[in-house]
Amino acid sequence: MRILITAGPTREYLDDVRYLSNASSGRMGHALAEAAMNAGHEVVLVSGPVDLPPPEGCEVHSVETTAQMKDACVAAFPGCDGVIAAAAVCDYKPRNRITGKIAKTGGPITIEMIETDDVLAELGRTKNGRWVVGFALEAESERENALQKLRAKNCDVVVLNRPAAIGSTDNAVELIDPNGTVVLELSGTKLEVAAGLIRWIESHLPS
């Protein structure tokens, strides 16, 4: 199979030096790319800014903003069998990016925020026979929220993980299908979890 994998955070700039982002290390997405290649698959890795070398031999597209990640994924997806969307994209961005650097004023400032592009929803909307595996990082009503994400984004399955995974070398996940059934539970190093997910995809999703 040829698999599109997204990894890492995205950044949304307030001005030319400051940005909004999150603490995603990109380890899960990079582990998935490594596990897929170890299993003999081709990988297209679209990664936000991370301090990790990409697995040797995969096609890499480095991006910063959510819009850049969406554009790279939309371009690559038609040539792939499916996507594993492990990236932690920013949900909001400033309505207007300031040129230069915002100066201190001695008082509070207000920045109007708008939603970013929904990368996963766009891939789900245009999958046309390809499969879509989403990731949902949830801290409360976990399975319910993950299932809502699966349905809203038109995923085939969704991987539920939790805030403890951020920045960690280990992970514990549940794979949930459209009926809300937990079809797989995995824990261990992120590479071990990634290898288990790849094996499940090989057995259950079309190539």
| 68-108: pLDDT as tens digits | 999 999 999 999 999 999 999 999 999 999 999 998 889 99
User: Where on the phi/psi map is residue 40: left (φ > 0), alpha (ψ -120 to 50), or beta?
Assistant: left
Say whether pLDDT at 207 is over 80: no
For residue 201, what are the CA distances in angstroms to 36, 132, 146?
Answer: 10, 10, 18
Answer yes or no: 161 catalytic.
Answer: no
Helix 27-38 vs helix 190-204: angle between axes, to the nearest 10 degrees? 50
Domains identified in the chain, total number: 1
Say whether pLDDT at 7 is over 80: yes
Say whether pLDDT at 119 is over 80: yes
3-state secondary structure the chain: CEEEEEECECCEECCCCCEECCCCCCHHHHHHHHHHHHCCCEEEEEECCCCCCCCCCCEEEECCCHHHHHHHHHHHHHHCCEEEECCECCCEEECCCCCCCCCCCCCCCCCCEEECCCHHHHHHHCCCCCEEEEEEECCCCHHHHHHHHHHHHCCCEEEEECHHHCCCCEEEEEEECCCCCEEEEEEEEHHHHHHHHHHHHHHHCCC
Query: Average per-residue pLDDT in the chain?
Result: 95
Say whether pLDDT at 47 is over 90: yes
pLDDT of residue 174: 96
pTM for this prediction: 0.95
End-to-end CA distance of the chain: 6
Say whether pLDDT at 164 is over 90: no
pLDDT of residue 206: 86
pLDDT of residue 139: 85
| Spatial distance between the Cα atoms of 207 and 205, rounded to a whole number of angstroms | 7
The CATH number linked to 175 is 3.40.50.10300
Q: Which domain holds residue 55?
A: 2-204
Judging by DSSP bridges, how do beta strands 42-47 and 157-161 pair with one another?
Answer: unpaired
pLDDT of residue 140: 87
pLDDT of residue 147: 95
Q: What is the pLDDT of residues 137-157, one digit of tens each?
A: 888 899 999 999 999 999 999
Could you tell me the pLDDT band of residue 168, with boundaries at 50, 70 and 90?
confident
